[in-house]
């Protein structure tokens, strides 16, 4: 038994090291199993019920190492796809973010007030992981584990960080139930019911029109790498798939960077096996004319020896080019290399020779059907990019992406989970287009209306609503949950009668 400052003793785990290690691993594996692609979302609650017991020790150092162990057992399996791209990056990222969870454990008191403090500490830990370093790596996050669960709609109230706090609190409430500490059970129950009640009255946008859309997926194998000759193959697959679009449509969405033209040679000569920008532009205009609707293709175009641009533009049926959006939030070590000067001597030529030049404009494309929000690929994992898109007038949210380089389907399923969360947070329909899957249509309730399979050549067609209006999550951003986190930690430590180490 562990004596607490609040009076009544709190039962703790056995002091034996094997038992503690086993509990850390079990908690982390439960949380990982709740993540896509496995999706056993109730296990997240079980994982945090075990975490509650792990935190019931008076040593801040012990709490830190225990939660570090939970993070290791959570993130190493849930981010294992990174091993195929960058083994050192995989290990460093998993260990660094596990340490963040360890610090969240150390920042929470051991008394029963941890059940208020730790949800707040996890809000800060997850927000930090989504933000730093190099812009953050928001993968295998707690909200993803609940994207198909009953609590997912709560994100339209105070965003995905609210879902973080709820998942942790419910897990700790289960531990309190087993312990029969009824005040904790009652307080957590009231908080969850309040979140559900707020969700029921929270605004979710207003339909203003309905349009017919088509999403083009060219198909092909996963785990492929870009090559000059392969760029033409990918482009031709999407030209071929576009011929499957039937009936009148108002908009056609292509995936990210499937138009990847080569730079002409120094002597001006060309290779027949490579795709060039002028040819790609002419054929895209032809596709738009044949379909009779704007086509929105994703370009990945070298503009110098050191820079590339990643953008989506609007190809109109009359042969002209409309608006353009350049990707703003680029991928660290994939589209830009932090600290390149320090890393390059040790990278052995593995770093990308060019970096993507980030865009600076609002995340909106003006099209004949109206203003559409755009988050290109990686950007859909960041709720603030979707807020930018919808806050600047986007009536629909587009996510052109490219997951064809990745091993397994972990990234693809986590991206689809993120699209569901962004749909709920913004009150918008989301169109996700990927060259080899998953492509999908998601409605504002976070339901996947239609989805392709991995590797198939396919076209998804359907009717979607254009919507206006902002949810509370759109209006307020992360600040309500940051305020909750700070207040929860302060109140918990004051009530426990001690200060954090």
Q: What are the tokens at 287?
A: 């596709």
Q: What is the pLDDT of residues 60-79, one digit of tens each?
A: 999 999 999 999 999 999 99
Q: What is the pLDDT of residues 160-191, one digit of tens each?
A: 999 999 999 999 999 999 999 999 999 999 99
> pLDDT at position 273, please?
83
Kindly tell me if the per-residue pLDDT of 349 is higher than 70.
Answer: no
Instruction: List the beta strands (DSSP E) in 254-393.
Output: 295-296, 298-302, 307-315, 321-326, 355-356, 364-367, 370-374
Q: How far apart (Å, rounded) are the C-alpha atoms in residues 152 and 146?
A: 6
Q: How far apart (Å, rounded) are the C-alpha atoms in residues 116 and 259?
A: 50
Segments making up each domain of the chain, as ranges: 17-203+477-496, 206-469
Kindly tell me if the per-residue pLDDT of 34 is higher than 80.
Answer: yes
Q: Write phi, then psi, for 271 (nearest 5 degrees).
A: -105, 135
Confidence of residue 437 (pLDDT cuts 50, 70, 90): confident
pTM: 0.93
Nearest to 47 by CA among 116, 139, 145, 152: 145
Q: What is the pLDDT of residues 265-321, one digit of tens each?
A: 777 778 888 899 999 999 999 999 999 999 999 999 998 888 999 999 999 999 999
> pLDDT at position 304, please?
86
> pLDDT at position 498, please?
55
Q: Tokens 């009953």 belong to which residue?
A: 150
Q: What is the Cα gyration radius of the chain?
A: 24
Contact assessment for residue 323 and residue 312, using Cβ atoms and an 8 Å cutoff: no
> pLDDT at position 455, please?
92
- Residue 8: count of CB within 10 angstroms of its CB: 12
> E strand or H helix at 311, and its extent?
strand 307-315
Looking at the DSSP assignment, which residues form a beta bridge with residue 499?
A: none
Q: Tokens 């499937």 belong to which residue?
A: 258
> pLDDT at position 9, please?
45
CATH architecture of the domain formed by 206-469:
4-Layer Sandwich (3.60)
CA torsion angle for 262, 263, 264, 266 (degrees, to 10)? -140
DSSP label of 452: P
């Amino acid at each position: 038994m562990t004596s607490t400052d609040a009076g009544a003793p709190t039962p703790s785990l056995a002091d034996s090291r094997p038992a503690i290690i086993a509990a850390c691993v079990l908690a982390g594996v439960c949380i990982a199993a709740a993540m896509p692609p496995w999706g056993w979302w109730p296990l997240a609650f079980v994982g945090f019920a075990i975490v509650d017991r792990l935190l019931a020790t008076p040593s801040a150092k012990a709490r830190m190492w225990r939660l570090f162990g939970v993070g290791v057992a959570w993130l190493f399996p849930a981010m294992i796809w990174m091993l195929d791209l960058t083994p050192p990056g995989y290990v460093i990222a998993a260990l660094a973010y596990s340490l963040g969870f360890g610090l969240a454990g150390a920042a929470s008191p051991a008394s029963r007030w941890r059940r208020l403090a730790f949800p707040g500490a996890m809000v800060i830990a997850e927000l930090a992981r989504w933000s730093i370093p190099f812009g953050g790596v928001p993968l295998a996050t707690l909200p993803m584990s609940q994207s198909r669960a009953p609590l997912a709609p709560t994100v339209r109230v105070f965003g995905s960080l609210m879902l973080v706090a709820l998942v942790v609190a419910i897990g700790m409430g289960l531990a309190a139930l087993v312990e029969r500490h009824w005040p904790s059970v009652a307080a957590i129950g009231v908080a969850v019911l309040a979140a559900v009640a707020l969700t029921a009255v929270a605004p979710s946008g207003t339909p203003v029109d309905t349009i017919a859309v088509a999403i083009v997926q060219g198909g092909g194998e996963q785990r492929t790498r870009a090559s000059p000759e392969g760029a033409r193959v990918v482009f031709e697959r999407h030209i071929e798939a576009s011929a499957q679009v039937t009936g009148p449509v108002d908009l056609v969405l292509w995936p990210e960077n499937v138009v990847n033209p080569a730079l002409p040679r120094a002597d001006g000569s060309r290779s027949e096996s490579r795709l060039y920008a002028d040819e790609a532009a002419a054929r895209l205009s032809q596709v738009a004319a044949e379909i009779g609707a704007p086509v929105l293709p994703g370009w990945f175009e070298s503009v110098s020896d050191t820079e590339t641009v990643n953008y989506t533009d609007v190809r109109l049926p009359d042969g002209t080019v409309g608006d353009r959006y350049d990707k703003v939030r680029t991928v660290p070590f994939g589209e830009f290399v932090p600290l390149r000067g320090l890393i390059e001597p040790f990278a052995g030529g593995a770093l990308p020779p060019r970096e993507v030049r980030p865009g600076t404009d609002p995340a909106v494309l003006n099209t004949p059907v109206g203003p559409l929000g755009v988050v290109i690929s990686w950007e859909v994992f960041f709720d603030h990019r979707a807020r930018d898109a919808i806050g600047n007038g986007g009536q629909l949210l587009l996510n052109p992406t490219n997951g064809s380089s990745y091993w397994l389907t972990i990234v693809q399923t986590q991206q689809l989970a993120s699209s569901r969360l962004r749909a709920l947070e913004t009150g918008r329909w989301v169109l996700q287009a990927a060259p080899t899957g998953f492509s999908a249509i998601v409605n504002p309730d976070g339901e996947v209306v239609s989805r392709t399979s991995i590797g198939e050549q396919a076209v998804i067609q359907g009717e979607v609503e254009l919507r206006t209006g902002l949810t509370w999550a759109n209006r307020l951003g992360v600040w309500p949950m940051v305020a909750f986190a700070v207040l929860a930690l302060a109140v918990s430590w004051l009530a426990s009668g001690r200060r954090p180490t």
